Structure 1
Amino acid sequence: MPAFYRLGRCDRDRITSGAVSIVGMDAQVPAGRVVVVIDVIRAFTTAAVAFERGAAEIACAPSLEVARSLRRRHPDRLLVGESGGLRPADFDFGNSPFDLSTASLDGRRLIQATSNGTRGLVRCPDPAAVLAVSAVNVTATARWIERHDGRTPRTIICTGSTAEDRACARHLTGLLDGTAPRRADLIAGIMAGAAEHARDYARLPPAERVDLSDDVRLCCDVDRADFAMVGELRDDHVVLTLA
């Protein structure tokens, strides 16, 4: 296992490579940086699959309450997300790329709320740009950054504490540095993170456990999506569109 998979929790450690900083959710991010928010299992894999299925935009909310408030204002929008990994009863879809992979979403606008990924998007008030990334669109995201903000310092936020987000952060940093990171290492990191999640869920009562087996296959599908997901900050949420 590569050494970087054995790093401590992202919210304890700060890793810097040139103009790129990898931080956790508790870090203070200076204004004016390109902010890349990672959630591989599962929020931004789910978002990417939703865009593949035809979604027009995704409003990412920091909480279920904000998501429901947005839905009351825009009743035609679909609610996607989780609480404790499970779909809330009033949501149209859970936070599952597998479930979204067969959904018909042509032209639909979505509202997504998750424990980590969507919450991470809204925590940087004045970025030069903000993007959502997972393994499925990591190379497209690197290309977008180089094309639009090639010289702007970057902060990569790992929204989770398990191995998959750190692996994706290292892979993205390698792409930006031109060091040709290995796809196999990224997949190994995702699988290590999935095993961590499985161990955590196994400690819960059966009704609270989440089966990630179908989702992990999609989470490991590196570079299946040839687009970046770029955010626009609103008062209480961030809207993702394709670029």
Structure 2
Amino acid sequence: MSIVGMDAEISSGVVVVVDVIRAFTTAAVAFERGVRDIACAASLDLGRELRRRYPDRLLAGESRGLKPVDYDFGNSPFEMSMAQVDGKRLIQATSNGTVGLGRCLEPTALLAASARNVSATARWVRANHGGEPWTILCTGRTEEDWACARHLSDLLQGVEPERERLVAGVMDGVAERSRSFAHRPVADRVDLSVDLPFCCDVDRSAFAMVGEIRDDHVVLTKVPA
């Protein structure tokens, strides 16, 4: 049982990939809006290739936090909360979260999580793989993913963590990211203020996001938990 960063070697066991700001918060909101499944790509170009293979899918993602011009949606839970996606299928490509999913080669089970579905993720793992070794992979370097991972680790071990500490960790992560964005040219800055309420909405989503590994991508589905 461990919490690791993106430089760790991961080959087996239950793996939960965490990305709070913003990939798996956006994915959770997409499922809340009625999306059927999400094909997660480890690069923008693979996302485009998947779109060519599956032209019925909508394309969501970011480069340096910003929506690519040829994508249908950015990596924003706020934007996704207003999207007409009921019954649709998505492709998602992001800098961290979807890359992290692609690093897990032979897991017993693979899940995506954010603060929005952290307790449901723990319930699913304990119900379906209780007693098996697990690894929580933090895809970002800022505090929010590590705070979510610690929260999830406590839940998996039967400890009831404080929601307030998780929210504080997400707020710290947003502040860290906002400071880094401030050094960019104005056109390249990312405004996280509209996404912050979604990222901090702990346990809004009562489902796990379970991954199925394909040849070159991972498909997430919503599983009630």
TM-score bracket for this pair, using the shorter chain length: over 0.9
Moved more, 79-88 or 100-109: 100-109
Per the TM alignment, residue 178 of structure 1 is displaced from its structure 2 partner at its CA by 1.5
Q: Which residue of 2 aligns with 1:160?
A: 140
SS in 2 for 1:213: coil
Per the TM alignment, residue 30 of structure 1 is displaced from its structure 2 partner at its CA by 3.2
TM-score in terms of structure 2 length = 0.98
Opposite residue 108 of structure 2, the aligned amino acid is A
Counterpart pick for 1:80 among 60, 79, 90:
60
Q: Which residue of 1 aligns with 2:32?
A: 52
1:56-101 deviation per Cα after TM superposition (whole angstroms, max 9, x unaligned): 0000000001000000111111000000000000000000000000
Q: CA RMSD in A?
A: 0.5
Opposite residue 194 of structure 1, the aligned amino acid is V
Identity %: 65
- CA distance in 2 between partners of 1:65 and 1:101 (Å): 25
SS in 2 for 1:83: coil
Gaps of 5+ in 1: 1-19
- Is the 2:11–2:105 contact (alpha carbons within 8 Å) kept by the matching residues of 1? no
- CA distance in 1 between partners of 2:222 and 2:212 (Å): 11
Q: How many residues align?
A: 223
Per the TM alignment, residue 51 of structure 1 is displaced from its structure 2 partner at its CA by 0.3
Matches within 5 A, 1:162-181: 162-181=142-161
Q: Which residue of 1 aligns with 2:101?
A: 121
Matches within 5 A, 1:177-192: 177-192=157-172
Opposite residue 92 of structure 1, the aligned amino acid is D
1:145-195 deviation per Cα after TM superposition (whole angstroms, max 9, x unaligned): 000000110000000000000000000011111121000000000000000
- Does 1:30 pair with 2:11? yes
- Does 1:43 pair with 2:28? no
Runs ≥4 residues deviating over 4 A: none
TM-score in terms of structure 1 length = 0.91
Per the TM alignment, residue 27 of structure 1 is displaced from its structure 2 partner at its CA by 0.3
Q: Which residue of 2 aligns with 1:16?
A: none
Per the TM alignment, residue 106 of structure 1 is displaced from its structure 2 partner at its CA by 1.2
Per the TM alignment, residue 102 of structure 1 is displaced from its structure 2 partner at its CA by 1.2
Q: Which residue of 2 aligns with 1:193?
A: 173
- CA distance in 2 between partners of 1:115 and 1:85 (Å): 8
SS in 1 for 2:71: coil
